[in-house]
Structure 1
């Protein structure tokens, strides 16, 4: 079996791998680019694994006219840019010490050592320059069966880095076979090592959770997380009831909306999301729990926020979405309030001006945006003339 995707035959990939072969060295594509290509999933990052030490990689790259960046040279990683394409090149490594967050590694000359320190069998697949698969741990059958399985002992893999608990569920959400279910040994190991999650940085946990919730159909993975106790270890008080309903109501996949369906949390404290994500989450929960109509939300915040809040409310109250919602949201999102502060300045000023403007806007929204300029001015005690 071999990788036949276009990226592996590109000029950049060909030139990069020739850099190693011309020097009498071996290098392999590894990880996500190999896994995703074999699963017909888009490839984003191109990673290369080699026995060549990072300083030598830098020398070879510069000799070929490539830009070499020591992005993580102390850990064996150099980013080489060939024909504008970045490749992350890492020397074979093996762990000598771990604390559940970081590993002390030494360089190795053996591909097998490098494979054994990875997390899942489907991530320990390598490809030569011509696309030929090298499978030192027999992970190809797991990949073809869409089975996310830890390499060697699941408990040991997790204790090397407790983030692998979340990665186990995230990888199932993206690549696993829901009909076959999650790997029992892996699931049991995740449940047995929950306490290790407290050792992780909130940023890493938040980033991994968002990736999981970005999958098109994460329900089975989230249900397994809940059953294993992992979900509440991360999000105390989380409930999946509204989450499962939301996935049938949602207008588009948005991990922050799905997070909002799981409960009310101090996301800034427990997940350290970006400021934008935090604001979105707070707005969603506030609107979903508030009394504003969907038309007002669409008018003030736009179509997406209105649809997201409507889906959340439908999930919270276990009610179907109104069939007229689409037309209502479209109309509200395009509506333009016909009265300005300048129109009222002849009769109002200061706080009274602001109050009247807000009252008129409220009446206009409640009318379904039907009140005209003249009708609104009459409400303000004017005859409507300009």
Structure 2
């Protein structure tokens, strides 16, 4: 990674990014791209969020943006953050900070001009990397670039102290391990021990924050090693009681084998396979997610063939259910399962409620429609309307 200490990326050289930095540097202030955008660019990964840190105070950032004719929003001004929008791109610009008090969820900060103090309050070494508008990378604490090259996730300084500052960092540790660590290198032992020792702090986290981390973790290319480490530390049982970490590896293996390699990973499919007493409630899922998770869990437990799943669930959920069930059974789906799902998803039940009225009404009408639909599905969608009604 030493040869990558000069960052090269299209987003860095874009007029919008250069304008955001020039707004600050032109007034004599520092401007550093920081965190995920630097980390991911050095790994040649897509970059989503563009964060800038500066020694300028929040009020100064607002004034500079106004003078430059740029739209600026005081989105987190109490914590030093102003969002500046340039050509449709949002830049979160935050004054360099240091923590003066933390309670496991929130931090009281003071502004600083010392980039090392700002770096020291961050969570992992690979997130404490900075780059100026020319792409020159700084690693104020040392070790961040080396850890990134080794694909190693480590807390900055004392892991227990970092976790005490924000209990969510326990889940972030495993999520970052899933996305960025080299599986062959194992997981940082000190970090793992600190997560195990800090389990009680998880109870104070909102289910929304926990759910957001689990979504991101399960969306990683291969979250199985990180999930197994979570189980080892007791974290998995704390947030998803009854979940089985061993169930995930067969699904990941199946997803990586032809002909399923073109099917994108789906965190909800993986959550369904993990199981647990009530993951929907534990993670505060949306109504649509709860509905899909319930349908997946029901489909996994039933012997419906792929075509029937395609009709009942639609192609996407049917694919998830088929892969999940196959992984739990320890065998790949039967040949042709994808075309069967597509066939079922396109099928149209030929009988309508009006065909059975007025002879049937209410619950009797619903029961007969269900019976006819089951017959039609069992026939491979071949029975016609006339045959069903005969």
Normalised to the residue count of structure 1, the TM-score between the two structures is: 0.93
- 1:327 maps to 2:349: no
1:165 to 153, 165, 170: 170
Deviation at 1:65, TM superposition (A): 0.5
1:75 corresponds in structure 2 to: 79
1:215 to 189, 197, 220: 220
SS at match of 2:203: helix
1:227 to 228, 232, 240: 232
Closer/same/farther in 2, CA of residues 356 and 278 from structure 1, 3 Å limit: closer
1:276 corresponds in structure 2 to: 288
Deviation at 1:294, TM superposition (A): 3.4
2:146 corresponds in structure 1 to: 141
- 1:11 maps to 2:15: yes
Q: Deviations over 1:108-145 (max 9, x none)?
A: 11111100000111111000111100111111111111
Bigger mean CA deviation after superposition, 241-250 or 253-262: 241-250
Q: Deviations over 1:253-291 (max 9, x none)?
A: 111111111113323432112222222212211222235
Closer/same/farther in 2, CA of residues 352 and 238 from structure 1, 3 Å limit: closer
SS at match of 1:179: helix
- C-alpha contact (below 8 Å) 2:241/2:276 kept by paired residues: no
- 1:252 maps to 2:264: yes
* Rounded Cα–Cα distance in structure 1 between residues aligned with 2:368 and 2:283: 42
2:194 corresponds in structure 1 to: 189
Deviation at 1:330, TM superposition (A): 1.8
1:371 corresponds in structure 2 to: 383
- C-alpha contact (below 8 Å) 2:240/2:278 kept by paired residues: no
* Rounded Cα–Cα distance in structure 2 between residues aligned with 1:208 and 1:49: 24
* Rounded Cα–Cα distance in structure 1 between residues aligned with 2:383 and 2:300: 27
1:132 to 133, 136, 139: 136
1:87 to 88, 91, 94: 91
- 1:177 maps to 2:192: no
- 1:62 maps to 2:66: yes
1:384 corresponds in structure 2 to: none
- 1:362 maps to 2:365: no
* Rounded Cα–Cα distance in structure 1 between residues aligned with 2:342 and 2:171: 38
Closer/same/farther in 2, CA of residues 355 and 206 from structure 1, 3 Å limit: closer
Deviation at 1:351, TM superposition (A): 4.7
| Structure 1: 5+ residue stretches without partners | 379-386
- C-alpha contact (below 8 Å) 1:126/1:135 kept by paired residues: yes
| Structure 2: 5+ residue stretches without partners | 256-262
Deviation at 1:353, TM superposition (A): 4.0
- C-alpha contact (below 8 Å) 2:228/2:246 kept by paired residues: no
Closer/same/farther in 2, CA of residues 131 and 372 from structure 1, 3 Å limit: same
2:27 corresponds in structure 1 to: 23
Normalised to the residue count of structure 2, the TM-score between the two structures is: 0.92
SS at match of 1:186: helix
SS at match of 2:99: strand
Closer/same/farther in 2, CA of residues 346 and 234 from structure 1, 3 Å limit: closer
SS at match of 1:162: coil
Deviation at 1:346, TM superposition (A): 7.0
* Rounded Cα–Cα distance in structure 2 between residues aligned with 1:355 and 1:116: 65
- C-alpha contact (below 8 Å) 1:207/1:273 kept by paired residues: no
* Rounded Cα–Cα distance in structure 2 between residues aligned with 1:355 and 1:184: 58
Deviation at 1:148, TM superposition (A): 0.7
Bigger mean CA deviation after superposition, 283-292 or 22-31: 283-292
- C-alpha contact (below 8 Å) 2:199/2:235 kept by paired residues: yes
Q: Deviations over 1:35-81 (max 9, x none)?
A: 11000010000000111110111001100001110000000000011
- C-alpha contact (below 8 Å) 2:244/2:276 kept by paired residues: no
* Rounded Cα–Cα distance in structure 2 between residues aligned with 1:346 and 1:95: 73
1:341 corresponds in structure 2 to: 353
* Rounded Cα–Cα distance in structure 2 between residues aligned with 1:323 and 1:302: 19
1:37 to 27, 41, 56: 41
Deviation at 1:6, TM superposition (A): 0.5
How many residues get paired?
378
- 1:286 maps to 2:298: yes
1:204 corresponds in structure 2 to: 209
